[in-house]
Structure 1
Amino acid sequence: MDSPSKIIFNPCENKENQYIAILVNGLEKHGYDVNRLDDFLSSMKHFQSIKLLHLNWFENLDDSSATSMWKSYFRKLVVLAAVKFGKKKLVWTMHNRLSHEKKSGELSRALTGKIVSQADAIVIHSEVSRDILRSQYPNLKARVIHIPHPDFVDVYGQMLPESNENKNEKLKLLFIGAIKPYKNIELLTEVVKGFSDSVHLTIAGNPNSEAYRVELQKLAEKVPNISLDLKFIPDAELPSYIHQSDLLILPYSLESSLNSGTVILAFSYGRTVICPRIGTIADLNAGDDVFDYSYEQESEHLKALEKQILKAVTLHQTNPNSLIEKGHRMRDLVLKKNSKQVVTDSLIKLYESLLN
């Protein structure tokens, strides 16, 4: 580019998710001047200098109280109005099928509708998102661009070398990430209770509230084959947590979940997953290297999850190395299909098509 284009990428930093850093660093290396959304209306000069805004999770609202939720909603409406008034290019990334927050769900959906109607382009991380958008917004005019979620290979440090120790122990499952109710931790606890002789589960991450932390501690007290590590896991410790597991287990809800950075994280560090067939899983088309499953009703989720755990236990007992081999093949696959360089190049190509 002749001169740096000033854009807003929101959020432009997130200490809990290197996804943002990967994309922002790629944009800045290419010459984009990446700015914060908070400064968008700081002055007329700055407002006029911004050419494009790219919004992530913008539809999520602060639902800590009714007042906060409505304040959050109206502030975001003001931003959208300013984007329209200033004739700025608008890009939105569709991360979820629905908002995960129950209290603000209806208002969040209304805001999503406004974003979709105004967007020049919508980035999707999985092909199924295209069908969801078309069914929810039949008059959709925005360009829909499929750009995969970037891999996390070496982002949190190098993958630790494998060893042959403890191969005959219990199957070691790991749930890692922000601990929130929609991630079905209670369901996972209930299922693992039935595998006391063959499975050990570690749940690692920071609960979204103190009340939820206490609730999970009470649940785990009754299940001896579960260990809780309810704290924020520093980036530097992630490779070790993943390395100490045989595979990750992520029983997300098919009702709202669509993409998962944690799934990509697991694959990036050589571990496969037990996970519903969300968009991230479907796109990779990995066959037997992933323990994916579907269900029609939430009441069927427990049995579907139980079946995949049993499958993994059987494989672990008959061929202890097989799960690690699957994980390493998944690492190779995301390096090919989710390359950080390809992802950032695709984003830059999209921006340039909108700005030129």
Structure 2
Amino acid sequence: MDIIFNPPVNDENQYIQLVVGELRAKRYRIHPLDTIFSSRKHFSAIKLIHLNWFENIDDSSFFVALRSFIRKLLVLIVIHWSGKTLIWTMHNRVSHERRLSFFSRSLTRLLMRWSHRIVIHSGQSEEVLAAYGPKALRKAVYVPHPNFIGVYGGIRQVPQREGRRLELLFIGMVKPYKNLELLIDVVHTFGDSVRLTIAGKAVDEAYQKEISDRAAHASNVVWLPYFVPDTEIAALLGKVDVVVLPYDLSSSLNSGTAILAFSYQKTVICPEIGTISDLGPHMGDTFHYRYETQEQHREALSAQIARAVALKHRDPVALAGMGQRLYTYMADQYALQRVGEILDNHVYRL
């Protein structure tokens, strides 16, 4: 079958490469969205369009956002009226871009209404869909987020020694909804008992300066302000005890970075987003928390870091044990082959 999977490549996110590779192994011919209008013959050949993050809008300026919105709106209208099968993966509660959220909300409502299937990666997604009505909820098909076991090389572990400080890692694109300012401030209060490494490129120069200035005033924070190459990710994860992801609960739903941590035998400190809630009994192998206000977030994050510090001092191998159990769960429940089978048999075959 000729299908469009958008985006078909993403150098900064192996999720796309994994899913596209599995679909190609099942003999789907993958085409980029930009080619849909390249010719009448090609347009007719496309039977299905699968969109990821299509609701996101570049909000760097009003005119840039308006142009992006109009272009995407026209594409959705053509897809809808052509009768082609439309699949949408719902990755977030709402778009993380908040400055001009009207555009993103409008596209989301159309995707909810016009999609034939909505791929979800967590049980919490059903709560979000239910708010749009029973029709949207009936379109949902759960597909596990593929694990990243072996994708970035083999697992590397640094031997744990009693009394060492807690090594925390934040890895990923540095964006405001990930609450790095709060994380730096909280970690700073722990002094020498904790060290935080932030590894990732900032979304823009202004935000990079803001995070850089905060990190410079915290002696126990190290910032690597660049996109971490795939060849360095396993080694970076191998040097730390815990991955910390203080995401915004109002927009965050799934976390590929949490799946990455589990795939390399690391536990996480993270709010109870969908990825964490889906762990069921293995939630106990993470440092999870909830909050409503920014002050509650500060207190909850600090409490979970303190728990991790105390646990490492009490039992130097306990954190590694948590990571190993999460790894086993990922290998069993989040296998790429399972993702491909569900897409092939339950999403793409209406």
Determine if the TM-score, normalized by the shorter chain, exceeds 0.5.
yes
**Residue pairs, 1:80-119, within 5 angstroms:** 80-119=76-115
**Residue pairs, 1:206-225, within 5 angstroms:** 206-225=201-220
Residues 1:43 and 2:39 aligned together: yes
Counterpart of 2:293 in structure 1 is 297
Residue 337 of structure 1: how far off its partner (Å): 1.2
Residue 165 of structure 1: how far off its partner (Å): 5.3
Residue aligned with 1:140, SS: helix
The gaps in structure 2 that reach 5 residues or longer are none
Residue 298 of structure 1: how far off its partner (Å): 2.8
Counterpart of 1:20 in structure 2 is 16
Residues 1:315 and 2:311 aligned together: yes
Residue 33 of structure 1: how far off its partner (Å): 0.4
Residues 1:197 and 2:226 aligned together: no
Counterpart of 2:259 in structure 1 is 264
Residue aligned with 1:182, SS: helix
State the superposition RMSD in angstroms: 1.2
Rounded to whole Å, the distance in 2 between the matches of 1:107 and 1:328 is 42
Q: What amino acid maps onto 1:137 in structure 2?
A: G
Rounded to whole Å, the distance in 1 between the matches of 2:165 and 2:324 is 20
Rounded to whole Å, the distance in 2 between the matches of 1:77 and 1:250 is 33
Q: What amino acid maps onto 2:207 in structure 1?
A: Y
Rounded to whole Å, the distance in 2 between the matches of 1:194 and 1:124 is 38
Residue 348 of structure 1: how far off its partner (Å): 1.0
Residue aligned with 2:321, SS: helix
Residue 138 of structure 1: how far off its partner (Å): 4.7
Residue 350 of structure 1: how far off its partner (Å): 2.5
Paired residues, number: 349
Residues 1:155 and 2:151 aligned together: yes
Rounded to whole Å, the distance in 2 between the matches of 1:42 and 1:167 is 62
Residue aligned with 2:236, SS: helix
Rounded to whole Å, the distance in 2 between the matches of 1:208 and 1:166 is 36
Residues 1:57 and 2:53 aligned together: yes
Rounded to whole Å, the distance in 2 between the matches of 1:39 and 1:329 is 44
Residue 131 of structure 1: how far off its partner (Å): 1.5
Residue 198 of structure 1: how far off its partner (Å): 0.7
Rounded to whole Å, the distance in 1 between the matches of 2:315 and 2:279 is 24
Per-residue displacement from partner, 1:235-258 (whole Å, max 9, x unpaired)? Answer: 111101111000100000101000
Rounded to whole Å, the distance in 2 between the matches of 1:31 and 1:267 is 30
Instruction: Tell whether the 8 Å contact from 1:205 to 1:231 is kept in structure 2 after alignment.
Output: yes
Aligned with residue 143 of structure 1, among 136, 139, 144: 139
Closer/same/farther in 2, CA of residues 193 and 30 from structure 1, 3 Å limit: same
Residue 144 of structure 1: how far off its partner (Å): 0.7
Per-residue displacement from partner, 1:106-130 (whole Å, max 9, x unpaired)? Answer: 2101110011100000000001101
Closer/same/farther in 2, CA of residues 43 and 142 from structure 1, 3 Å limit: farther
Q: What amino acid maps onto 1:43 in structure 2?
A: S
Instruction: Tell whether the 8 Å contact from 2:117 to 2:347 is kept in structure 1 after alignment.
Output: no
Residue 142 of structure 1: how far off its partner (Å): 5.4
Rounded to whole Å, the distance in 2 between the matches of 1:310 and 1:158 is 30
Closer/same/farther in 2, CA of residues 135 and 165 from structure 1, 3 Å limit: closer
Per-residue displacement from partner, 1:175-231 (whole Å, max 9, x unpaired)? Answer: 000000110000001100110031000000000011111111111111100001010
Instruction: Tell whether the 8 Å contact from 1:120 to 1:142 is kept in structure 2 after alignment.
Output: no
Instruction: Tell whether the 8 Å contact from 1:117 to 1:141 is kept in structure 2 after alignment.
Output: no
Counterpart of 2:235 in structure 1 is 240
Q: What amino acid maps onto 2:55 in structure 1?
A: E
Rounded to whole Å, the distance in 2 between the matches of 1:142 and 1:291 is 33
96-105 or 300-309, larger mean C-alpha shift: 96-105
Closer/same/farther in 2, CA of residues 163 and 233 from structure 1, 3 Å limit: closer
190-199 or 293-302, larger mean C-alpha shift: 293-302
Instruction: Tell whether the 8 Å contact from 1:117 to 1:142 is kept in structure 2 after alignment.
Output: no
Q: What amino acid maps onto 1:252 in structure 2?
A: Y
Q: What amino acid maps onto 2:261 in structure 1?
A: A
Rounded to whole Å, the distance in 1 between the matches of 2:84 and 2:41 is 14
Q: What amino acid maps onto 2:179 in structure 1?
A: N
Q: What amino acid maps onto 1:175 in structure 2?
A: F
Residue 51 of structure 1: how far off its partner (Å): 0.1
Residue 42 of structure 1: how far off its partner (Å): 1.0
Residues 1:180 and 2:175 aligned together: yes
Q: Percent identity?
A: 45
Aligned with residue 226 of structure 2, among 215, 225, 231: 231
